[in-house]
Structure 1
Amino acid sequence: MTYPPATSPQPKNRPAWVVGGLTVVSFVVLLWIIELFDSLSDHRIDDNGIRPLEADGLWGVLFAPLLHSNWDHLMANTVPMLVLGFLMTLAGMSRFIFATAIVWILGGLGTWLIGNIGVHCPYVGVRCEPTHIGASGLIFGWLAFLIVFGFFTRKAWEIVVGVIVLLVYGSVLLGVLPGTPGVSWQGHLCGAVAGVLAAYWLSAPERKARERRKLGATNPYLTP
């Protein structure tokens, strides 16, 4: 007598929204762990933020989004990160990762270039060198990405997401304007610009497919 070969149960793939949610939550938990360590070390690691136009301040491009000045700063960023980060993952994990990298690097570099603009020192004769830290630049990048991405891809549900995000968080975009002391409007502005660029670059497949359809409609003899 022969028996059929034993088959091991295949692992079930987790839904994309579950993977995205766990990824964003894990990132936020990491930020809280870093802030705990920062608090225990008397906030010494906050010096590793972006110091504009200083050569060693470029390292801050890598570290600034992970650092926060205090618990209030981190708590103010936590909910927008959870909401916007999760919505970002709905566009696909690869796009979420690439968009985050673009905003992180380009937004940070932009902040390094213009971060001294509009900075006034309250002490006469003393030069003030700001250090930019916080995940708000990343938040502004995600926000801008979500608002415009659907208009680049022309997908209905992504347009709806963009409109809803604009209605709920649109007023936050005023943070790209100078005026609030101690707030890095430069980081907000550069993050938002990087988010728009990321949305344009990462929507290339849909934009190219749309162009091919247009060409096919005008010339039915074109071959792929």
Structure 2
Amino acid sequence: MPESLGQRLDRNLARLGTNLLIPPLLLVIPWAQELIDQLLFGGHWNLPMTPRGPIWGVLTAPFSHSGFGHLLANSLMFLPLSWLVLAKSRRDYIAVWLGVYVTAIPIWLFWPTASHGLSGVVYGLLGYLLLIGWLEKRPLSLLLSVLCLVSYGGVLPSLIPLFSPAGVSWIGHTSGFAGGLLAAWAVQRGAEPAGGSGR
């Protein structure tokens, strides 16, 4: 029996509600970690990605921060960018996270300093949103990319060491951004019909 318009609307609203909840629920993890760190460990319990350290550091680094100021700054960008990606689909959102983790692995293996923070994921979300419109060439996707460029383009210079403040892991930002670009490319490739254009 075909799904009625009301049923389809209910399903879409339920999915929208769930999508709105996903980013705040994810933020519970770093906020809980930072709260425990500050209350019980005096700010010394961090879970960074250390050079050739335990592989779990790659997984935990986005949820570890150097203080509430660091975490708040990342959270304020993480929420809107997450919601914009989730407006396309959960699959795309998962792809960004996977892309960020994949591009973090070379940094973990070869970069000489530790890093942590949600900013790598933030830049991954931004990289995805900036590229996906140009790959899909659909009006809404293009509008989304232009909107993100206008709204968040001012943070792009921090991908370059010269313009990155002291103590900020520009390489973490850059690898995260590359992960977002990789995710956009993978999502677009996956959406292409079998056989493609033959190119």
- Interval containing the TM-score (normalised by the shorter chain): 0.7 to 0.9
Matched to 1:21, the amino acid is L
Q: 2:61 aligns with which of 32, 46, 64?
A: 64
Once the two structures are superposed, residues 84-142 of structure 1 have per-residue CA deviations (whole angstroms, 9 ceiling, x without a partner) of 01101011112212221221x123213214533xxxxxxxxxxxxx3201000010010
1:192 and 2:177 equivalent?
yes
The correspondence of residues 1-224 of structure 1 with structure 2, limited to 5 A, is 12-13=10-11, 14-40=13-39, 41-46=41-46, 48-52=47-51, 54=52, 56-103=53-100, 105-116=101-112, 130-179=113-162, 180-208=165-193, 211=196
**Does 139-148 or 14-23 show the bigger shift?**
14-23
CA contact (8 A) 1:99 1:198 kept: yes
| Structure 2 gaps, min length 5 | 1-6
Select the structure of larger CA radius of gyration: 1
Q: 1:140 to 1:210 in 2, by over 3 A?
A: farther
| Structure 1 gaps, min length 5 | 1-9, 117-129, 216-224
How many residues get paired?
Answer: 187
TM-score relative to the length of structure 2? 0.85
Once the two structures are superposed, residues 13-37 of structure 1 have per-residue CA deviations (whole angstroms, 9 ceiling, x without a partner) of 3443322111011112332112111
CA distance in 1, matches of 2:74, 2:30: 10
TM-score relative to the length of structure 1? 0.76
Shift of 1:80: 0.5
What RMSD over aligned residues (CA atoms) do the two structures have, in Å? 2.2
Q: 1:184 to 1:165 in 2, by over 3 A?
A: same
CA distance in 2, matches of 1:156, 1:111: 36
* Structure number with higher helix proportion: 2
Matched to 1:146, the amino acid is L
CA distance in 2, matches of 1:209, 1:161: 27
Q: Percent identity?
A: 29
Query: Secondary structure of the residue that 1:151 maps to in structure 2?
Result: helix
Q: 1:168 to 1:210 in 2, by over 3 A?
A: farther
CA contact (8 A) 1:153 1:207 kept: no
CA contact (8 A) 1:99 1:202 kept: no
Shift of 1:201: 0.5
CA contact (8 A) 2:92 2:183 kept: no
Shift of 1:154: 1.9
CA distance in 2, matches of 1:110, 1:168: 30
Query: Secondary structure of the residue that 1:69 maps to in structure 2?
Result: coil
